[in-house]
Structure 1
Amino acid sequence: MHFIGRTSNIRNAPIIKLLQDSKVSKEVISLGQGIPFFRPPENSIESFIKNSSLKNGYSYSTDAGLIELRKAIKVKLSIENNIIVDEEQIVVTAGANQGFMNVIMSITDSGDEIILITPSYFNYIMSTRLVGCKPVLVSSDESTNLPNIEEIKKRISDKTRAIVTISPNNPTGVVYPKNLLKNINDICMENELYHISDEVYEYFTYDNNYHISPAFFDKDMDHTISLFSCSKSFAMSGYRIGCIITPKHLFNEILKVQDTIGICAPVPSQYAAIKAFDLGSSYMNQYISEINEIRLLFYDVLNGLDSVNVNLPQGAMYFFLHLKKEINTWDLAKRLIDEYDIITIPGEVFDSNYSSLRVSFGNLRVDESKEGIVRLKKGLEILL
């Protein structure tokens, strides 16, 4: 017997599947995954190594995470995000992906609905299906990458439990303006829904764009749930540390899920994260100008291609290319790997309703990026 259950309607991990389907050479340059080019803070690395060999580092922490870490997160939220919470509203998780899963398992039953704005981070769509819920996909405007508030309202039903926003956005790079986030927050309050806010790329903003935490509008913290991560801002993706900022009434419900799935986030990583959160945005500040330089290098080239429409990203580390002709983007991404040694991500995995391609510009330093741009330009000119 080969019975397959709830995973049967879930796609394979897209990036891994793409690489398995392609001929990846040693010379390949990745513009695929969003992995920053810089290292974690040195004192985070030192703290990880030190605590790995100590009993308090190789034993469990509480399910919610080390109290020292939750206090550091509390201070960071107050200073940088204007969010005032108690330690009992913070749950440390093994990354934002686990945070999202913990949340939707706490607030939904099978058959409930979660509204997601597309193009959307694929793991959130997959997680929603995995718990037996229906992802209700609301397409953003193709030119602005912003959702229409009236369209969101139309999609709310008696089964809706939450609206998810990602800002700065993966995959489009748009930063949601303050009034849009407040409108969504108000809709959630009026309809007794949760607003799940992914803020993983909060430090990655450019020009005059800036990040707003929706929980700022929810002074009672009654319906807003925020997800943060160390993976991007502190280059700690392998450490697996994120956190949920939750209304008080959900704290114990989320801990039930946490204890069942992972018990606690990796404890040496939690000690490393204390040092990272103590640094806050100051750590990213030393790298953001170089990332911005790379962003502009990519834009100068991509904007000159006749075959694509491209917006200059306001945040995050991605270009989301709108291809001017309908094409199988999975096949295009495969050919870019096979023939041009360049990794990109097909737009179809983000449930984009038009032919598109995601290009990550945060993976490489300036000199390495220049070769990546040359390969990408050549491939798109010939293949499109």
Structure 2
Amino acid sequence: MIKLARTATTFAPPVMEARRWLDGITFTDDLPLLNVSQAAPVDPPPRALREFLAETALNVPDAHLYGPVLGLPELREEVATQWSKAYDGSIGAHQVAITSGCNQAFAAAITAICNEADEVILPTPWYFNHKMWLDMLGVQTIALATGPDLLPDPEAARALITDRTRAISLVTPNNPGGVEYPPTLVDAFYELARDHGIKLILDETYRDFDARSAAPHCLFSDPNWGDTLIQLYSFSKAYRLTGHRVGAMIASEPLLAEAEKFLDTVAICPNQLGQHAALWGMRNLGEWVAGERLEILDRRAAIAENFAPMAEAGWKLMGLGAYFAYLEHPFDMSSDALAQAMVRDIHVLALPGTMFNPEGAAEGAKQMRIAFANVARPDIEQLFARMSAYRP
């Protein structure tokens, strides 16, 4: 019997699949497309950063060559310094790796700790690219169901741990749910992972847009955090560097030595120009990022303020935060069919909950993600006006 190729073990990229739903549809000035499908900035970086990139491209020859596999030493040092201050912990540059985006950081972490048929626990609804990589690596995804508040239960996770479990992976602020995990919850999962000798992978891609001003957790204050914690981060959202592919992984030095084998094989080194841009952004764009955060928080507030007509139409707001609102729809149809009908009928492109849940899960059929980061207040009002009046 011929086994499936690795890529055949998982599903097609959801965002690309959703874009194909636009084929053959004509949008008009009266009813333009409202695209709330993807959580990525659509605007370029601020002009000062673009000017720095241009100067670097012209005047820094090394920016066009291979660099260290684990990233520019100066950027690693800057992350270690700023993270140590932000989390009131102790992080060294030797515990920071720069990666080609946060997805690669996750792939590197999983590859460094897992063998085929090992298990990783993911709360549902999950971030689909995490599930895709586990599928392609032959690692079993163990779904941890969440309740109406979308917060995972550490005791429910405890019941899922076996001798094959290698990690629990959390995303906070959450993608797709938007919810911000309380520090006590993050700490409980950390203690659970530590007690069982497994890793806690904490994806904090959206940390710059957390509504809380204090640190979202205190895990780095534990002098032995490296035994348990793997933190992931993306520079894409804060500095609009999506096309430059720059992320980070903070972990123990021995684990990074294993991840380095993977990183050297698939990319050799992260994008050099992108790394210089991320470093300049960290040193010079603090106030600008703070303003971006306030804009996202205002759009989050607009979601809450304008949701009443949606609630009257039977929709439920399950989660809200960072870039996302996560909804439950009121219709007697699966969310994947509903999402495609919405594109056709009301020119709204959103991702269905079926893309964030196990195949056939009843929860996924009733849920939908709204990525609102690129939708201004007036468009949020228009979005909900269309959706609340819609009857498929």
Q: Quick check: TM above 0.5?
A: yes
Tell me by how many angstroms 1:209 deviates. Answer: 7.2
Show the counterpart of 1:151. Answer: 156
Secondary structure at 2:152 match in 1: coil
Q: How does 1:261-340 map to 2 (within 5 A)?
A: 261-279=266-284, 281-305=286-310, 306-311=313-318, 313=320, 315-340=321-346
List gaps (5 residues or longer) in structure 2: none
Tell me by how many angstroms 1:3 deviates. Answer: 8.2
2:386 matches 1:375: yes
- Read off the aligned partner of 1:212 and give its amino acid letter: P
Show the counterpart of 1:21. Answer: 21
Identical aligned residues as a percent: 25
- Equivalents in 2 of 1:312, 1:173: separation in Å? 5
Secondary structure at 2:337 match in 1: helix
Q: How does 1:81-120 map to 2 (within 5 A)?
A: 81-120=87-126
Tell me by how many angstroms 1:4 deviates. Answer: 4.9
Secondary structure at 1:111 match in 2: coil
**Contact 1:76–1:280 (Cα < 8 Å) also in 2:** no
Show the counterpart of 1:174. Answer: 179
Match of 2:236 among 231, 235, 238: 231
* Segment drifting more, 108-117 vs 36-45: 36-45
**Contact 2:306–2:381 (Cα < 8 Å) also in 1:** no
| Cα distance change on mapping 1:280 and 1:47 into 2, 3 Å | closer
Aligned residue pair count: 377
2:74 matches 1:65: no
Show the counterpart of 2:376. Answer: 365
Secondary structure at 1:203 match in 2: helix
TM-score normalised by the chain length of structure 2: 0.90
* Deviations 1:239-259, CA, capped at 9 Å, x for gaps: 111000011221210100000
Show the counterpart of 2:220. Answer: 216
- Equivalents in 2 of 1:226, 1:240: separation in Å? 17
CA RMSD in angstroms, aligned pairs only: 2.1
- Equivalents in 2 of 1:102, 1:214: separation in Å? 24
Tell me by how many angstroms 1:347 deviates. Answer: 0.6
Secondary structure at 1:195 match in 2: strand
**Contact 1:90–1:243 (Cα < 8 Å) also in 2:** yes
- Equivalents in 1 of 2:44, 2:219: separation in Å? 30
Match of 1:202 among 192, 202, 207: 207
Secondary structure at 1:163 match in 2: strand
List gaps (5 residues or longer) in structure 1: none
TM-score normalised by the chain length of structure 1: 0.92
Moved over 4 A (4+): 208-211
* Segment drifting more, 23-32 vs 67-76: 23-32
Secondary structure at 1:288 match in 2: helix
2:62 matches 1:56: yes
* Segment drifting more, 152-161 vs 215-224: 215-224
**Contact 1:51–1:58 (Cα < 8 Å) also in 2:** no
**Contact 2:354–2:367 (Cα < 8 Å) also in 1:** yes
Show the counterpart of 1:161. Answer: 166
Show the counterpart of 2:48. Answer: 43
**Contact 1:175–1:209 (Cα < 8 Å) also in 2:** no
Tell me by how many angstroms 1:66 deviates. Answer: 0.8
